[in-house]
Structure 1
Amino acid sequence: MIAELNRLVELVEVRLNDGLDVAVLATELGTTEYHLRRMFSSLAGMPLSEYIRRRRMTVAAADILGGDGLLSIAVRYGYGSNEAFGRAFRSVHGVSVSDVRRDGGPLRTQPQLRFHLTVEGNITMDTRIIDRTGFRLVGHATRVPLIHEGVNPHIQAHIASLPASEHSRLRALSDTEPAGLLQVSADVDPDYTEGTELTYLHGVAVTGTDPAPDDLDAIDVPAGTWAVFRTEGEYPAALQEAWAATATDWFPSNPWRLRPGPSIVAVLDRADGFSTATCELWLPVERA
């Protein structure tokens, strides 16, 4: 995956003003747009779309200083008007086009990225690969913003709003893996951009042979392969560290890639107060 990401950066660079299509680039690289965007975001610390915008505005700054007409520059980099280009330029550089033409700056440069894999061998990931028939996730769903680190207060509030009896009722419905009460994230932004909305479901997995109760939300999950990562330690820090390590360590070293679908966290055991927990992180995967 590291080689594919570096080749992606090279292709982005030569197509900054050439109708850049990430889906086409993914096909050329022999992977999927979904996996490419998720891995780029995880390793670069920014969405691919944001990197492309920053690089375009970095290169466009030289054209601005060169005196080309503003509309021709805007069109060259995929913007339909001076206003749209000007907004993008200011969002990256913090100053207007006219300021740069008058004063020569200041400019904020986005360097061209280069990915490297550092192999330390000091982390063993407890992983299993399983093939699952289709199943259904049922429970209580809501829309929440994506937060990369720490406890998500919106998810906390959603869970706290459910009475204790509802947790017991959901557990009684569970009849297949992943077992027990589940934390399900679905409809996640492909770039994994912090602050974007996702669907969070607090519920359980069922075989799906019977209709879900009318008062519960449901997500049907088709048959497929899953990578299951077991984590132990401080909650949610250990879980979030393992999630990050799937991108930095596991996927670059294994012949699997992410496929579209929900990610699922099963809490197998936890301390009083949820200070520590043993969890399983379920990610939908396919052969690379």
Structure 2
Amino acid sequence: MMDWTTRLTQALDYLEDNLEGTADIEKAAGLANCSLFHFCRMFEVVFTVSPAEYLRRRRLSRAALDIAAGRDKVIDVALRYGWDSPESFTKAFKRCFGITPSEAKAGSAQLEIWPQIRLAVVLKGDRTMKYRIEERAQAEFVGLPIRTTNTENENLKTIPRFWDTKGKDGTVGAMARYCGKLGLLGVCYDYNPADNSFAYAIAIEKGDFPMSALPAGCETIEVPASVFAVFESRGPMPGAIQKLWKDIYADWFPSSDYEHAGTPDFESYPEQDPPELPDDSPEYRTEVWIPLKRKKMF
């Protein structure tokens, strides 16, 4: 834990020390001893903001302080923090703070500055995480997707709403008729670091049924062969599985020798015991399957 905390602190310090147009998120990921994919996913889940958005807000915050001090021209501040024109800087500044740089320089409003992230180490010995390591061959899932993002916990709202909507319109029931051993699935894939979005699909394992039997809009999702960490959750939905996701990134990954492999991960909703167990029961069981690769060793 301490080694991971030290490396993540180094990555955060690097971003803070290089706000003036030179910070590189891939280099920060290297300082944290993980891939760019894993760094971005971990950062968003733990801090509820992507590295790129955090960097943008910190640059704007530092720029706002420089402007409020009144010593520099707006164009000089814009160039210092990576904007190529005063127009694009003014647009970003107003979107962030609600006022223009000129108004900030005049001291006509109070600015809400985005603070630097600082880590505090909390050792937790009061619980365990139940998981197993399992190998799976290459597979195909079939699912109905939406796009969402971890930024500011947007996915914690859009995904439950997606399940609720598709449950009410009969989509979930139609797909459940063709479930395999894993049950219904919630698959995360196609992560795009440029806009911090990813696809999430209500899915099932591909089987001997025609695609025409499934709701319109379903697509095939390729899942490469991998070693998976499989975590079990018990508790009312969606809170139990949302908490499990955060615990995996905040607690399990930092203390393990693994990072996310960058391929699709998924939630499994198997048949309950008894089958009629409601999803708000404290005994409702789900699993999270995460593909793994070994961390780089120094």
Q: Distance in 1 between matches of 2:45 and 2:195?
A: 8
8 A Cα contact 2:176 2:183, kept in partner: no
Q: Distance in 1 between matches of 2:171 and 2:238?
A: 23
In structure 2, runs of 5+ residues without a counterpart are: 213-217
The yes-or-no answer on 1:135 pairing with 2:139 is: yes
The count of residues paired between Structure 1 and Structure 2 equals 276
Which of 204, 208, 213 is 2:210 aligned to?
A: 213
The yes-or-no answer on 1:111 pairing with 2:119 is: no
Q: Distance in 2 between matches of 1:185 and 1:228?
A: 15
Cα shift at 1:14: 1.6
Classify 1:183/1:50 alpha carbon distance in 2 versus 1 (closer, same or farther; 3 Å): same
8 A Cα contact 1:231 1:242, kept in partner: yes
Identity of aligned residues (%): 28
CA shift digits 1:119-154 (9 cap, x unpaired): 12112100112222211112x313244544466222
Residue 108 of structure 1 aligns to a residue in which SS?
Answer: coil
Q: Which moved more, 1:240-249 or 1:95-104?
A: 95-104
* Aligned counterpart, 1:204: 204
The yes-or-no answer on 1:286 pairing with 2:293 is: yes
Residue 107 of structure 1 aligns to a residue in which SS?
Answer: coil
The yes-or-no answer on 1:16 pairing with 2:19 is: yes
* Aligned counterpart, 1:69: 73
8 A Cα contact 2:7 2:31, kept in partner: no
Which of 58, 73, 78 is 2:82 aligned to?
A: 78
Please show how residues 19-34 of structure 1 align to structure 2 within 5 Å: 19-34=22-37
Classify 1:66/1:164 alpha carbon distance in 2 versus 1 (closer, same or farther; 3 Å): closer
Q: Normalising by the residue count of structure 1, what TM-score does the alignment of the two structures yield?
A: 0.85
1:143 partner letter: I
* Aligned counterpart, 2:279: 274
Q: Distance in 2 between matches of 1:74 and 1:192?
A: 22
Q: Distance in 2 between matches of 1:220 and 1:44?
A: 29
Cα shift at 1:7: 0.7
8 A Cα contact 2:185 2:202, kept in partner: yes
RMSD: 2.6
Classify 1:190/1:271 alpha carbon distance in 2 versus 1 (closer, same or farther; 3 Å): farther
Cα shift at 1:182: 1.4
Which of 42, 57, 62 is 2:45 aligned to?
A: 42
Cα shift at 1:180: 1.8
Q: Normalising by the residue count of structure 2, what TM-score does the alignment of the two structures yield?
A: 0.82
Residue 234 of structure 1 aligns to a residue in which SS?
Answer: coil
* Aligned counterpart, 1:155: 163
Q: Distance in 2 between matches of 1:129 and 1:93?
A: 47
Cα shift at 1:4: 2.1
Cα shift at 1:264: 1.0
* Aligned counterpart, 1:261: 263
Please show how residues 217-256 of structure 1 align to structure 2 within 5 Å: 217-256=219-258
CA shift digits 1:226-261 (9 cap, x unpaired): 111001111111111111111221111111111212
Classify 1:164/1:214 alpha carbon distance in 2 versus 1 (closer, same or farther; 3 Å): closer
CA shift digits 1:168-196 (9 cap, x unpaired): 5422xx26xxx122122222454996xx5
Cα shift at 1:263: 2.3
* Aligned counterpart, 1:97: 101
Cα shift at 1:72: 2.4
In structure 1, runs of 5+ residues without a counterpart are: none
